[in-house]
Chains A and B, each alone.
Chain A
Amino acid sequence: MKRTDSGSVSGTDFSFEKGSQSNVEVTWNDRLRDFWEEFIYKPGLVAWDDWRTRIGATITLFFLFMGTVGAYFYRQPSTNQVERSVGPFQNPDYILGTTPLGEDVLAKIIHATPDILIMITAGAVWATGLALLIGVLAGYKGGLTDRALTSMSDVAMSIPGLPLIMVLLVTVQPTNPAIIGGIITINYWAGLGRGLRSQVLTLRDEPYVEASRTMGVGTLRIMFKDIIPNLMPFVLVNFVNAGRYVIFQAVALYYLGILPSTTSNWGILLNQAVNQYGALFSLDGAYLVFIPTIAILLLTLGLILLAQGTDRIFNPRVRTRLAGESESTDEEGNEQPAAGGF
């Protein structure tokens, strides 16, 4: 049937003479089941399959547990609460030993974790979020916005991190860990933004993005439906790297005494070990240096391993293979069998 009016699709839309008319309605629990399967069950399956993610996830969950439940139950560290200068694993009440001021080392480690975790999440979310916004906008829009945003991130990128943070912290004197996290990654988003921009530049000209544009799909919807999902592996890896950067900088700032030593932090423990307790000059004070080091190492290691494993989550091939969905036999038959190939 020929469409009468010009172009616009009014009542006379097409209907199929042929084709089965099975009516299909989508119930509410279908939607829920889809959501569960899509975002929790399958990614979990993929994550667990790779040994790196398994270790990474266990370590990170351990710290999460320590930061929440542990901090809630275990006693606050305070001076002279226990016997002084006891080595680790000698007494079950204070398993990790005590400081020369009589503080329980395990308490200090545990109670530093909540702040560190908040700082990491705040800093990483701020850096990745801003980088995603600027990178995608500059990459997709192009032209003047691209030039402006790129030169802005050029400047931010070339300002060395630590000195800038120091200047800001000295003037702002923040105490809330979330703000500290944000300030620490004040210019970290620049490098990430540039990486995202170049990825978006390639994605923007992909046929499926052009097809969406041709269908008249809005720019925002294209960004969130077509471009960002394909960036997620890159974004996630850098989200965790931002976390690693925050840990390193935060501990350094506490160690240097720039951040107030009122709150507890592994950096402060290190600072006290080195400057006050003179741990560096005799072997028996070694545990005061090694314990915070191991804490930092473990948390960072957990994050890095988690990142390396998770980019497979966003790869649809891996997700379907693991979830047991059948791989269609390729119609032309691919030249190389699953095993080898060239």
Chain B
Amino acid sequence: MSSQPVLSLDGVEVHFENQRGLMGIGQEPETVRAVDGVTIDIEERDVVSLIGESGCGKTTLGKTCIGLQRPTGGTVEYRGHDMWDVRDGKSDSDLEWDDIRQSLQIIHQDPGASLNPNRRLVSILSEPLRQVSPDLSKGEKRERIYSLLEHVGMNPAADFAERYPHQLSGGEQQRVALCRALLMNPDVILADEAISALDVSLRVEMMDLMLDLQDEFDTSYVFISHDLSNARYFTEHGNGKIGVMYLGQLVESGPAEQLINEPKHPYTEVLRWATPDLSLEQTGDMPMRKIDIPDPIDPPSGCRFHTRCPEAREVCKRETPETYQINGQRAACFRRDESHDYWDSPELVD
């Protein structure tokens, strides 16, 4: 692997405090532990997918990666320097915050809302150029915008450039959002459910486009999705790794093909079951004991999945499993450790 990861998160925590009672006094504030101790690295030209149910903290973690969300615990390093020290001016490195900010971009889920309805495409796309290379003349900016638009298959570019967002289809809007991020020449792009709002047949096309442009723009992707098959397609092509999130914790991570064919964590098996495929053979009944996610304000004790896990045992309620390393795959579940007393503790029944 290359030398130093672009981004490395170590034990990152993001806790939200919402004030109850009058101005904070009275009832003690509820803390929602959206991200609770996640360690992950993103290499140069890498693809990392984060999957999990809604409310598991994958978007919060994604935003922490690209510096939009300040962590309440742990560190987020950009090329070896703590991002937030640079932000506060405490860091020794010669990096400025603007450079870090400009090299970490985002694409959103809803194509319709990710472009300002009141501005034409040419004005939307000249904004990033204004930030990255302010000395470009208006002509040069248009030239660069036109060539990128044609590059993503929107020609005649001159006609598209004059349009308003409402004159584009969902697929076209999402491609413009991608162009906007790419024009910043970023190191990492966070694709926050970037394809789930598109029509089925367009999703593959968008993912292919993102992967083609990866080499040219030398950027890594953090791909967030709740759909295992989309994540698998994207991660496998970009030969990256998939991270499975549950209630703010990274329960399993590893290369896509391995993770899908031999899941090491019961929750990944449940996600695997939930991903419909055409072989129609696995029906079986509900693999989980409970459908709804527990309340993130006071998550279950021990292993957080024990309330729904089909393999849960008494010990899972008491102890929190640490992450076991199995040849390139990491999973936080006692079942990965043959010698653990999990095997002889009684079945959990509620």
Report which A residues bind B (CB closer than 8 A): 1-3, 6-9, 13-14, 16, 18-26, 206-208, 210-217, 225-226, 229-230, 314, 316-317, 320, 325-328, 330-332
Contacts and interface: CB of A to CB of B under 8 A. Distances in A.
Interface string B104-142: 111011100111111100000001100111000111001
B143 A214 contact: no
Contacts of B297: none
A66 B273 CA distance: 77
B164 interface: yes
Given A208-B116, A331-B170, 13 more contacts: A6-B79, A7-B103, A20-B146, A26-B138, A208-B114, A208-B115, A212-B127, A214-B101, A215-B101, A215-B184, A316-B164, A328-B163, A330-B169
B167 A23 contact: no
A314 B143 CA distance: 29
B185 interface: yes
Nearest to A19: B147
8 contacts: A2-B44, A20-B146, A20-B147, A26-B138, A26-B142, A214-B104, A215-B105, A332-B199
A23 B139 contact: yes
A76 to B, nearest CB: 47
Nearest to A330: B169
A331 B171 contact: yes
B218 interface: yes
Interface of B: 44, 66, 68, 78-79, 93, 95-96, 98-106, 108-110, 113-119, 127-128, 131-133, 137-139, 142-144, 146-148, 150-151, 162-164, 166-172, 177, 180-181, 184-185, 187, 199, 202, 216-218
Contacts of A21: 143, 147
Nearest to B142: A24
A214 B66 contact: yes
Contacts of A211: 105-106, 108, 114, 177, 180-181
Contacts of A320: 164, 166-167
B146 A18 contact: no
Given A24-B142, A214-B68, A7 B169 contact: no
Contacts of A23: 139, 143
B99 A8 contact: yes
Contact of A206 (B113, B143, B164): B113
A16 B170 contact: no
A316 B169 contact: no
Nearest to B106: A214
A9 B139 contact: no
A7 B184 contact: no
A19 B146 CA distance: 8
B98 to A, nearest CB: 6
A7 B100 contact: yes
Contacts of A20: 146-147, 150
B31 to A, nearest CB: 19
Nearest to A230: B118
A23 B140 CA distance: 7
